[in-house]
A = this chain, B = another copy of it.
């Protein structure tokens, strides 16, 4: 694995650590503040722009304690100064799949977008077959 891939996977891992620890202060440092950003939480409409994205994280991470999220099966795709990671998110018994997009900034790889959605739920297996 290249140093670049390791750095991107570390940024992805830091994202899930901040998520799991309900650590909004760290979460804020992991996203790009110099580029336009977006997020699609599962079942939500897309949120566009730094304020909307960070407000959503503030809301989601404002509960005390921890969030039972684990990230696994991460795969990195590099596109020059941008990259994305595809991974599985496990929340107790719920499995989701996510795409996390990063750009390389002076102080490291920063998130610019996150989309997460359900995997292999019966209703959506049927949905996938019928519409997609």
Bound state CA distance, A74 and B117, in angstroms?
19
Bound state CA distance, A8 and B61, in angstroms?
34
Question: A120 within 8 Å of B by Cβ?
Answer: yes
Whether A36 contacts B77 by the Cβ 8 Å rule is: yes
Find chain B residues with CB under 8 A from A9 CB.
none
Question: A81 within 8 Å of B by Cβ?
Answer: yes
Q: Of B44, B94, B127, which one neighbours A42 at CB under 8 angstroms?
A: B127
Whether B79 contacts A44 by the Cβ 8 Å rule is: no
Of the A-B pairs whose beta carbons lie under 8 Å apart in the complex, a sample of 19, sorted by A's number, is A40-B86, A40-B97, A41-B132, A42-B117, A42-B128, A45-B119, A48-B75, A77-B112, A79-B79, A79-B81, A79-B82, A80-B80, A80-B103, A81-B81, A86-B113, A94-B131, A96-B132, A97-B115, A118-B127
